[in-house]
Amino acid sequence: MNFEEWVSKPLLREFGIATPEGAAFDNPQAARAAFQGPCTVKAQVPAGARGKAGGIKFAFSPEEAFEAAAGILGSTISGHHVERVLVEEKVEIEQELYAAVLTDRTNRCPSILFSAAGGVDVENMAASRESAMHSLQVDILNGFSLEQAEKLVADTGIGTAEGLVAETLTRLYAAYRSLDAELLEINPLAVTKDGRVVALDCKFTLDDASVARQPGLAGKGAPESRTDLERAAAKEGLRLIQLDGSVGILANGAGLTMTTMDAVAHFGGSPANFLEIGGDAYTKAEPALRIVLSQPGVKSLLVNFCGAFARTDVMAAGVVKAWKRLNPAIPAFFSVHGTGEEKAVALIRDELGIEPFDRMDDAVKAAVAAAGSKP
């Protein structure tokens, strides 16, 4: 789950990291009324490189603050509709640094990233600049000490305010741990002309598996772009990714569901969705089928089960029940193997009069043929 700057900066302040004075507004009148001196007006969208896209403007009078906010609000930045601007005091910058703590999946530990060359789009950093990125893997059982931070800062050689910057890094790590962050990034971290260390931006991603134990944060995340049907599926506890193909897919387990989509594409068809009912969701075949069938453009249904934990007889019973009730006009093709297979096959054969295919590939080919050629 991602958090916009206006939400994540107050979180940094709770951990003792300074940010510019400011507030977020959804209308230009409020931005004008809040003017107290030279300020920055920033579009609040979950995307990087906002400056280049015209999402960051400076204002030196109330009227300029109004105009900047009016120009940014309602515009589209990197595909996101801007609904809010952050108006902040303009800071006199001496030096721009980069600091982040992230979950390092290769080394299976938190890593600190620090560079004297901040302010740029780090993802697009040229190789020569990337060499200026210093990193430190943290032993999560021992934490990240001030001594380690001081050494990292000294090794990077920023020259000014090293003590304050090192302290900021330890606070950033404390915030990362307390907030169950996947990424907490400050770019730029500014050393100001008057010697303060201030976070000018903040990117915060919360670990999706930790949302439940961070109840204070869950409601503040940037909304995910989801279709109505994806939202309806989520309400049923199902993970749907809606695509625009014509073969509806129902399978168990993430790996098998992706594989089923691959097979549909391999034989010349186009998958209509990713919807898996594996794991604990294997009892949800009935709502899952209802969701797949309600998707426009679905011309055939492919049911591919390979049961391990998920019992195919339980899933088949759900599909049969829903199929009979909804009585859809499209053809369905089954491949069923694994736990509960015999019962599942008998159920589909007896109740629906459909003979499951022995080979998955044959079921896929038949479903693709029935959906017809690509539109």
Binding positions for other proteins, rule: CB under 8 A: 103, 105-106, 108-110, 123, 139-141, 177, 180, 182, 207-210, 213, 239, 241, 243, 251-259, 261-266, 271, 274, 276, 278-279, 306-310, 337-339, 341, 359-361
Which CB sits closer to other proteins, 161 or 319?
319
Q: Which is nearer to other proteins, 91 or 364 (CB)?
A: 364
Q: Which is nearer to other proteins, 116 or 211 (CB)?
A: 211
From the CB of 146, what's the least distance to other proteins, in Å?
21
Q: How far is the CB of 44 from other proteins (least distance, A)?
A: 20
Cβ–Cβ under 8 Å, residues 292 and 273: yes
Which of 153, 292 has the CB closer to other proteins? 292
Spatial CA neighbour of 303 closest among 328, 234, 280: 328
Specify the residue, 116 or 265, whose C-beta has the smaller distance to other proteins: 265
Here the tokens at position 219 are: 């409601």
As beta bridge partners, residue 101 has: 112, 184
Give, in order, the Cα–Cα distances in Å from 83 to each of 42, 46, 201: 11, 12, 18
Written as six digits, the tokens of 117 are: 């060359």
CB atoms closer than 10 angstroms to residue 293: 18
> Contact, 53 vs 79, CB < 8 A?
no
Q: Tell me how far apart the alpha carbons of residues 136 and 114 are, in angstroms, rounded to a whole number.
A: 9
Q: How far is the CB of 360 from other proteins (least distance, A)?
A: 7
Q: How far is the CB of 27 from other proteins (least distance, A)?
A: 31
Residue 361 CB, nearest approach to other proteins (Å): 5
DSSP string, 317-364: HHHHHHHHHH--SS-EEEEEEETTHHHHHHHHHHHH----BSSHHHHH
Nearer to other proteins (CB atom), residue 196 or residue 343: 343
CB of 194 to other proteins, least distance (A): 36
In whole angstroms, give the CA distance from residue 104 to residue 71. Answer: 39
Asked, as a colleague might, if the bond just before 188 is cis with ω within 30 of 0, I would say yes
Question: With respect to other proteins, which residue has the nearer C-beta, 263 or 291?
Answer: 263
Whether residue 97 contacts residue 159, with contact meaning beta carbons closer than 8 Å, is answered with no
Shortest CB 276 distance to other proteins, Å: 5
Contact 249, 257 (CB under 8 A): yes
